[in-house]
Amino acid sequence: MAISNSSWVRAVVERLTIDHVGHRGDGVSTATGEAIYVPYTLGGETVEVDHVVGNHPDRRKLLAVDVASSERTEPFCRHFGVCGGCAIQHWAAEPYQAWKRGIVVETLAQAGIDCAVAPLVDAHGAGRRRITLHGRFGTHDILKVGFSATSSHDVIPIDRCPILDPALDGALDAAWALAEPLTSRMPVTKPLDIQVTATANGLDVDVRGSGPLPTALVTALSRVAEQHRLARLTRHGELVLQRLPPTVKMGRAEVTLPPGSFLQATVAGEETLAALVAERIGKAKEVLDLFCGVGPFALRLAEKARVAAYDNDAGAIAALVKAARTPGLKPIKAEPRDLFRRPLVPPELRDFDAVVFDPPRQGAQAQALRLAASKVPVVIAVSCNVATFARDARLLIDGGYKLGAVVPVDQFRHTPHVELVAQFSR
Ligand SMILES: C[S@@+](CC[C@H](N)C(=O)[O-])C[C@H]1O[C@@H](n2cnc3c(N)ncnc32)[C@H](O)[C@@H]1O
């Protein structure tokens, strides 16, 4: 039977054999001559699938696993398969880790970057310390608070997420409690985003999408913030209530987080990346930290070296400047600067023994070009996107730098995201 309307097409059930798991975490079948993607499947499996839907003619929905891989494991979360937060909980640790390292190996090879790739370093640690939940009304005007569904903007209501750091305990309850008064005033179609971060003084919450808050609502939200003992509640970065400053420890320093600034997803991820950077910096005395955020690298490196740091997030730079006053640290000069539009140029790079750059997913093409033309002896790249890293690495290699072994880091366990640290020297 075929049912169709303007955006959904339903077809007969198909049987497919999965060849391997692709770079986005979906099983890939090429039996029909074109790549067909089936989430939640593994190489070697035979599966029954249904046509998905709308804008994804090359995707199928898993209905049943007829022949399971010996590497298949039981997912540990009851929301797995509908919640878009995790792509992989059904795969044994060893092949999962080999696959994740393989993403780095294959992407670099495809880009013609010839280098060694170290074993994957697990950095899940205690789990995620920051989440963004969505609040939205569903059918019959029932409020849903949770994560986005797989491949859609639907919200999957969540009461428990086992991959969170225990320091985020209470985050889901607080989000539900905040969403109720906030969404009561919002049009049903508008999504509400609730970002919750675990800090040393409790949960730091920033809500987005609610529109301006009338006084009565501020009072209601403040009451919820008190009841849930939040460290701070902000709306679009504007303070609603602060009980205690939301701080995190970075090396010896204590950083008060600005609302909305970047923070590595796990404590172990931040510590692992910072340790890999510090090892590669060695005895450098003058260090430049580009795309420094609130300073997880700068603040640790300043225990031994003088640091200059740049980022375009003025709030993050202000937080770093304040934390840089920690006794015992060497001087840190931190300034806001858009490094896409105004990358540091070779004369500005002249006095540094080592440069770290850790750009957003787009990479740092303009800055990599300037680094390639510089004489800085050691350049360390930290990246959350292997493809843009490969593009920037090509610029540095063509500029005469030698690339050492790339270290893949798994901070986003159960997802296809992978970070890496790499050293370039001349
Ligand atoms: C992946 S984060 C890394 C931050 C920091 N190194 C850390 O580990 O927390 C990327 C940083 O790049 C900054 N950024 C994004 N676009 C930028 C731009 N055009 N110029 C300068 N910094 C930018 C963001 O504010 C963010 O802090």
Q: Are residues 380 and 328 in the same domain?
A: yes
Please, which pLDDT band fits residue 212 given cuts at 50, 70 and 90? Answer: confident
* 241 found inside a domain: yes
Pocket test for ligand 1, best of 291, 301, 361, 392 (most atoms within 8 A of CB): 291
Pocket of ligand 1 (CB under 6 A): 262, 264, 291-293, 296-297, 311-313, 316, 338-340, 358-360, 384
Q: Look up the domain containing 279 and give its range.
A: 102-124+265-425
Mean pLDDT of the chain: 93
pLDDT at 189: 64
Q: Are residues 222 and 201 in the same domain?
A: yes
DSSP run (H or E) holding 302: none
Q: Are residues 417 and 278 in the same domain?
A: yes
Top pLDDT among 403 and 154 is at 403
Q: Are residues 234 and 282 in the same domain?
A: no
* 198 found inside a domain: yes
The dihedrals phi and psi of 17, each to the nearest 5 degrees, come to -105, 135
Q: Are residues 27 and 116 in the same domain?
A: no
What does the angle CA 35 – CA 40 – CA 42 come to, to the nearest 5 degrees?
Answer: 65
Q: What are the tens digits of pLDDT across the range 163-174?
A: 999 999 999 999
Where residue 356 sits, what CATH number does that domain have? 3.40.50.150
* 256 found inside a domain: no
Pocket test for ligand 1, best of 297, 299, 311 (most atoms within 8 A of CB): 311
Atom 7 of ligand 1: nearest residue by CA position: 293
pLDDT at 421: 98
DSSP state of 293: T
- The pTM assigned to this predicted structure is 0.94
Taking each helix axis as running N to C, give the angle between helix 386-398 and helix 93-110, from 0 to 180 degrees, rounded to the nearest 10.
Answer: 40
For residue 139, the CA-to-ligand 1 centroid distance in Å is: 39
Residues in contact with 164: Cβ distance below 8 Å, sequence separation at least 6, in sequence order: 127, 128, 129, 131, 171
Catalytic residues: 384
* 88 found inside a domain: no
For residue 208, the CA-to-ligand 1 centroid distance in Å is: 21
* 270 found inside a domain: yes
Q: Are residues 138 and 181 in the same domain?
A: yes
For residue 357, the CA-to-ligand 1 centroid distance in Å is: 9
Where residue 233 sits, what CATH number does that domain have? 2.40.50.1070
Mean pLDDT (whole number) for 176-205: 86
Tokens of 11: 């077809």
Please, which pLDDT band fits residue 31 given cuts at 50, 70 and 90? Answer: confident
Where residue 61 sits, what CATH number does that domain have? 2.40.50.140
Q: Are residues 236 and 316 in the same domain?
A: no
Number of domains in the chain: 3
Give the position, in ligand 1's atom list, of the atom nearest the Cα of 341.
19
Tokens of 226: 């008190």
Please, which pLDDT band fits residue 7 given cuts at 50, 70 and 90? Answer: very low
For residue 159, the CA-to-ligand 1 centroid distance in Å is: 32
Q: Are residues 336 and 200 in the same domain?
A: no
Q: Are residues 192 and 270 in the same domain?
A: no
* 163 found inside a domain: yes
Q: What are the tens digits of pLDDT across the range 114-146?
A: 999 999 999 999 999 999 999 887 777 788 899
